[in-house]
Chain A
Amino acid sequence: MRLLRYAFEEAAASLWRGRRSSLLSTATIAIALFVTGAFLIVTSNLERMAEEWSGAAEMSVYLEDGLGGPERSALERDLRTDASVTSVEFISKEMALARFRQTFPDLAQTLGGMQENPLPASLDVRLRSSSGESAPIDALVTRMRTMPGVADVRYDQDWLDRLLRGVRVLRLVGFSLGGALLLAAALTIANVVRLALTARRDELDIMHLVGAPPAYVRGPFVMEGALHGGMGALAALLVLAAVFFSARPHVLTPLASALNLSSVSFLSPLLVVLIVGGGLGVGCLAGWVASRRA
Chain B
Amino acid sequence: MIETYHLSKVYSRGVYALRDVTLSIDKGEFLFLTGASGAGKSTLLRLLLCAEQPTEGTLKVGGRVLSDLTPAEVQSHRRSVGFVFQDFRLVPRFTVFQNVAFVMRVLGVDLATQQRKTFQVWKGVGLQHRMNAYPEDLSGGEQQRVAVARALVNDPQIVLADEPTGNLDPDLSLEIMNLFREANSRGTTVLVATHDLWMIRRVGRRVVGLEHGRVVEVS
Chain A residues within 8 Å of B, Cβ to Cβ: 2-3, 6, 202-203, 205-213, 216-217
Beyond A207-B106, A213-B108, 13 extra complex contacts between A and B, CB < 8 Å: A2-B110, A6-B108, A206-B102, A208-B78, A209-B51, A209-B78, A210-B78, A210-B79, A210-B154, A211-B78, A211-B79, A212-B107, A216-B108
Known: A203-B91, A205-B89, A206-B103. A211 touches B108 (CB 8 A): no
Asked if A216 and B106 sit within 8 Å, CB to CB, the answer is yes
Asked if B154 and A3 sit within 8 Å, CB to CB, the answer is no
Q: A203, A209, A213: which contacts B49 (Cβ < 8 A)?
A: A209
Q: Does B74 contact A (CB under 8 A)?
A: yes
Contact with A along B75-108 (1 / 0, CB 8 A): 1111100010000010110000000001101111
Q: B76, B83, B91, B110: which contacts A209 (Cβ < 8 A)?
A: B83
Closest residue to B111 on the A side, CB-wise? A2
A-B contacts, CB under 8 A, total: 45
Asked if B77 and A6 sit within 8 Å, CB to CB, the answer is no
**Which residues of A lie under 8 Å from residue B154 when comparing CB positions?**
210
Shortest CB-to-CB span from B148 to chain A, Å, is: 14
Closest residue to B99 on the A side, CB-wise? A206
Q: Which of B49, B91, B106 has the most CB of A within 10 A?
A: B106
Contact with A along B96-134 (1 / 0, CB 8 A): 000000110111101000000000000000000000000
Q: Provide the bound-state CA to CA distance between A99 and B28, in Å.
A: 108
**Which residues of B lie under 8 Å from residue A6 when comparing CB positions?**
105-106, 108
**Chain A interface main SS type:** helix
**Which residues of B lie under 8 Å from residue A207 when comparing CB positions?**
106
Asked if A211 and B89 sit within 8 Å, CB to CB, the answer is no
Shortest CB-to-CB span from B168 to chain A, Å, is: 21
Shortest CB-to-CB span from A45 to chain B, Å, is: 50
Contact with A along B60-79 (1 / 0, CB 8 A): 00000000000000111111
Asked if A211 and B110 sit within 8 Å, CB to CB, the answer is no
Asked if A2 and B108 sit within 8 Å, CB to CB, the answer is yes
Closest residue to B51 on the A side, CB-wise? A209
Residue contacts A-B, CB under 8 angstroms, 17 given:
A2-B110, A202-B89, A202-B92, A203-B91, A205-B89, A206-B103, A207-B106, A208-B78, A209-B51, A209-B78, A210-B103, A210-B107, A211-B78, A211-B79, A212-B75, A213-B75, A216-B108
Asked if B75 and A211 sit within 8 Å, CB to CB, the answer is yes
Q: Provide the bound-state CA to CA distance between A207 and B107, in Å.
A: 9
Asked if B91 and A211 sit within 8 Å, CB to CB, the answer is no
**Which residues of B lie under 8 Å from residue A205 when comparing CB positions?**
89
Closest residue to A219 on the B side, CB-wise? B106
Q: Provide the bound-state CA to CA distance between A29 and B89, in Å.
A: 36
Q: Provide the bound-state CA to CA distance between A16 and B78, in Å.
A: 32
Q: Which of B92, B102, B154 has the most CB of A within 10 A?
A: B102
Asked if A3 and B49 sit within 8 Å, CB to CB, the answer is no
Asked if A211 and B102 sit within 8 Å, CB to CB, the answer is no
Asked if A202 and B75 sit within 8 Å, CB to CB, the answer is no
Known: A210-B106, A210-B107, A213-B108. A202 touches B74 (CB 8 A): no
**Which residues of B lie under 8 Å from residue A213 when comparing CB positions?**
75, 107-108
Shortest CB-to-CB span from A229 to chain B, Å, is: 25
Q: Provide the bound-state CA to CA distance between A216 and B78, in Å.
A: 15
Shortest CB-to-CB span from A25 to chain B, Å, is: 21
Shortest CB-to-CB span from B127 to chain A, Å, is: 19
**Which residues of B lie under 8 Å from residue A202 when comparing CB positions?**
89, 91-92
**Which residues of A lie under 8 Å from residue B107 when comparing CB positions?**
210-213, 216
Shortest CB-to-CB span from B135 to chain A, Å, is: 11
Closest residue to B106 on the A side, CB-wise? A212
Known: A3-B108, A205-B89. A211 touches B76 (CB 8 A): yes
Q: Provide the bound-state CA to CA distance between A207 and B91, in Å.
A: 11
Asked if A206 and B91 sit within 8 Å, CB to CB, the answer is yes
Closest residue to A216 on the B side, CB-wise? B106
**Which residues of A lie under 8 Å from residue B92 when comparing CB positions?**
202
Asked if A211 and B74 sit within 8 Å, CB to CB, the answer is yes
**Which residues of A lie under 8 Å from residue B110 when comparing CB positions?**
2
**Which residues of B lie under 8 Å from residue A2 when comparing CB positions?**
108, 110
